[in-house]
Structure 1
């Protein structure tokens, strides 16, 4: 960690007088640096600092709040420090408005397509983002099918069954919105009663409901969250389960069988669980 702290300061041409780790760190080390010139900044390594900086800049171009990228290279990204002195429980409506801004982002060009210009990763779990021309195909191939070789045969059969049904369960060509991609409370910074920054993105272009769904995997968004974004469409319960299933599968692979009940729950809601 000392090496990361020194490297972050060097990227800014500064010296450090102190540092300490920040919460998180499942897939990267994140430190708060105190610089000799009085600044406080955040430095973070892996899995891909350059791509993380690009994602943050993409989010920022929509007008959504993100920490400013101060410096980046292949080993680390240095970010503006945004004090997390508020609680998300008091500003779900503001997060809904912020996400509505994020979701105005569109891929370059006029073609409707889903994906991102690069792949990503959560630790050793690859996040594939190859462009596809319809949404059910993207979700089947890159968010469910990629796990088939890493789970047991019974779960793999249930996932394959769900993949076959996705054209009937997901919209074929929804508006390709910019997505944060890993939205949960730990990736939302709050100051006072406002969202001050979105962090740790896993961006791609897809159905806006993905972010609305994943916000509820580990947190309990209020009704104001969905209303502020623009509401939800009929049948959202099944789609939310399908989108949350991806998060559950990633956690199953990374952290083990503790997450199998969550996977089973989302499969059941999506109608793909065992009878």
Structure 2
């Protein structure tokens, strides 16, 4: 029995079968297997396993579908396997939109999160800030200027000074998935089945929607199910897309610099 299989048998209380690696590599290792009752499970080996388990529990408590966590801690996250691998279709997108609305209906005590977390080596600071523009500036856009090209850091600093004019002062602190791209939404034969790989915080719901639109084009079915957006939401999209673009630049290199610079131009920075 491999070391991972032995550990899974210990935490689940029975041997697993069919253990096989299916993905990961940049930020974690992902495996699939079947538990002692023959049910499909997904296993992640990642430093933030406990933190992710807490986030999945928060999303589940909000009423949004996620995989049930079977174990989370000491670098190992074990979850039930949800139906996946299907194209969303109109009904799938509608189910996704309704689930996102349910997620964002949950309201937290402040902006940020109870602890800092990370995308691999990219830290995600979550300490409180006096208002939303300050949080987005200090905890996101200006979180690590030393890790960015000097010109981009300078332009972000200039943009941050304008954020009180560009962002709402005090939007309701909704529960955010935090990494809401289409690859983190699962679709089975019956439509939307759940969200995975969260990086949660409390903040403006438009953050998640902007992230989703960065690498996908959600159809009207998604937004019809989600509900109306506040005035000015379209103008704020590039401001919110800057954060995931900066994360990609830091994780994957100069190939994402054009994306960052295009978003900076879009907001006049």
SS state of the match for residue 70, structure 1?
Answer: strand
- How big is the shift at 1:67? 0.5
CA distance in 2, matches of 1:247, 1:89: 26
Superposition pairs of residues 123-162 of structure 1, within 5 angstroms? 123-162=120-159
Structure 1, gaps ≥5 residues long: none
Indicate the residue corresponding to 2:227 in structure 1.
230
CA distance in 2, matches of 1:4, 1:198: 25
1:195 to 184, 192, 196: 192
Q: CA offsets, 1:45-80, max 9 Å, x none?
A: 223111101100100011110100111222211101
Indicate the residue corresponding to 2:247 in structure 1.
250
1:173 to 151, 170, 175: 170
Indicate the residue corresponding to 1:64 in structure 2.
64
Whether contact under 8 Å (1:97, 1:228) holds in the other structure is yes
SS state of the match for residue 165, structure 1?
Answer: helix
Superposition pairs of residues 20-35 of structure 1, within 5 angstroms? 20-35=20-35
- How big is the shift at 1:223? 2.3
Q: CA offsets, 1:162-197, max 9 Å, x none?
A: 111111111000011000010011111111242211
Matched, 1:119 2:120: no
The 1:35–1:150 alpha-carbon spacing in structure 2 relative to 1, beyond 3 Å, is: same
Indicate the residue corresponding to 2:50 in structure 1.
50
The 1:263–1:3 alpha-carbon spacing in structure 2 relative to 1, beyond 3 Å, is: farther
CA distance in 1, matches of 2:3, 2:88: 33
Indicate the residue corresponding to 1:13 in structure 2.
13
SS state of the match for residue 103, structure 1?
Answer: helix
- How big is the shift at 1:103? 0.7
- How big is the shift at 1:119? 0.8
CA distance in 2, matches of 1:5, 1:142: 39
CA distance in 2, matches of 1:115, 1:143: 10
Whether contact under 8 Å (1:4, 1:45) holds in the other structure is no
Matched, 1:183 2:173: no
Structure 2, gaps ≥5 residues long: none
CA distance in 2, matches of 1:138, 1:97: 27
The 1:254–1:16 alpha-carbon spacing in structure 2 relative to 1, beyond 3 Å, is: same
Whether contact under 8 Å (1:20, 1:33) holds in the other structure is yes
Count of residues in correspondence between the two structures? 267
Indicate the residue corresponding to 1:263 in structure 2.
260
- How big is the shift at 1:5? 4.0
CA distance in 2, matches of 1:3, 1:167: 52
Aligned-residue Cα RMSD (Å) equals 1.5
CA distance in 2, matches of 1:220, 1:6: 43
TM-score normalized by the length of structure 1: 0.92
CA distance in 2, matches of 1:107, 1:47: 25
CA distance in 1, matches of 2:81, 2:120: 24
